[in-house]
Amino acid sequence: MDALSPVRLLVESELNSYRQLFEAALTHEDDYLGRVLDHVKSRRGKMMRPLLVLLVARELGPVGEATLRSAVALELLHTASLVHDDVVDQSDERRGQPSANAAYGNKVAVLVGDYLLSSALHQTALTGSTHSVELIARLGATLSEGEVRQLANIRNAVSTEEAYYDIIRSKTAALFAACGQLGAFTAGAGAEFEERARRFGELVGMCFQIRDDIFDYYEKADIGKPTGNDMAEGKLTLPAIYALSRPEAEPEAGRIAARVKEGTATRDEIAQLVDFTLRYGGIDYARSVMMRFHDEAAALLAGFRSNDVRRALGLYLDYVVGRDF
């Protein structure tokens, strides 16, 4: 039993219904496309996003088909973005398995990503709500904007905290925000609760991405990305940005950071910058920022009336900041 088991238990039957719909959406009669979709499907994670949708909806009563379809649509959109990201980043692995582009080539990966995007919109259309379609369409644009901003930021000589937050808000937090918002909206919430759920999801997403970025500074095989992988892709995340901003920062660290952003840093240089970040308090600072977001999100739970939902979302939030991968 993992830390999320008691959370899943509250919406166990709804999760089973979600899984059936998601499986159907990733099943195709064409043999080749079916095999690629099976490959993508095999990398299923902990269902963090659909779980958030269903938990928020449960606050308002029984979970209906519109909520389930929205959860499927959000996960399809998320999956599509991962497939496309792996092509952009030239990644060979995703969760310890070959990425779609590594297994089937870039052309197939891009086309399958497009297929998943279309499937996401189809699932949203089945909710019968133009507002839900609008939210999903806007989310797809926001996720793409976040990726473009990240690529543009790599080219900037200096990385700032403000730019970092802007990127992760678009890349990651927007998806969790949509999970909260659609969970509330499809369950019939009023505008006030819908905004509360949206903001809760956004804060969860900020915590999720900062925690993810912290992983990159430690050597651990089971998290799916080795130490310094972000730097190898030209990305400086919050821990390094903070350490480099310290007045006493070593000049050599700044020079290595510049080479990281140019894409010319060696593995030894990246290891030096990782060590510098650890020594100059970058991880502690990132954790403190993450916990500020955590505490703001936890405060929002006071507006939830169901004790069971409030407790489950509290456990969910704690899991996000404490997870090991």
Please give the residue that has the higher pLDDT: either 233 or 10: 10
Q: How confident is residue 229, by pLDDT bands cut at 50, 70 and 90?
A: confident
Element (H, E) at 271: helix 267-279
Neighbours of 187 (CB within 10 A): 24
Q: How far from chain centre, in Å, is Cα 2?
A: 20
Neighbours of 320 (CB within 10 A): 26
R_g (Cα) of the chain, nearest Å: 20
* Domain interval for residue 302: 5-322
The average pLDDT across 207-215 equals 95
Is a pLDDT exceeding 90 seen at residue 323?
Answer: no
The average pLDDT across 34-57 equals 89
Facing residues of 98 across strands?
93
- How far is 224 from 215, CA to CA, in rounded Å? 10
**How many domains does the chain divide into?**
1
- How far is 207 from 219, CA to CA, in rounded Å? 21
Q: Which CATH number belongs to the domain containing residue 197 in this structure?
A: 1.10.600.10
- pTM for the whole structure: 0.93
Q: How far from chain centre, in Å, is Cα 24?
A: 23
pLDDT at residue 154, rounded to an integer: 72
Per the CB < 8 A criterion, the answer to whether 269 and 256 are in contact is yes
| pLDDT 10s digits, 270-320 | 999 999 999 999 999 999 999 999 999 999 999 999 999 999 999 999 999
pLDDT at residue 152, rounded to an integer: 80
pLDDT at residue 95, rounded to an integer: 67
pLDDT at residue 271, rounded to an integer: 92
| pLDDT 10s digits, 52-97 | 999 999 999 999 999 999 999 999 999 989 889 888 878 887 766 8
pLDDT at residue 149, rounded to an integer: 85
Query: Per-residue DSSP letters for 309-320?
Result: HHHHHHHHHHHH
Is a pLDDT exceeding 90 seen at residue 147?
Answer: no
Query: 98 phi and psi, to 5 degrees?
Result: -60, 135
Q: How far from chain centre, in Å, is Cα 198?
A: 15
Whole-number Cα distances in Å, 273 to 211, 214, 229, 234: 19, 14, 12, 12
Neighbours of 126 (CB within 10 A): 17
Percent of the chain whose predicted confidence (pLDDT) is above 90: 71
Q: How confident is residue 153, by pLDDT bands cut at 50, 70 and 90?
A: confident
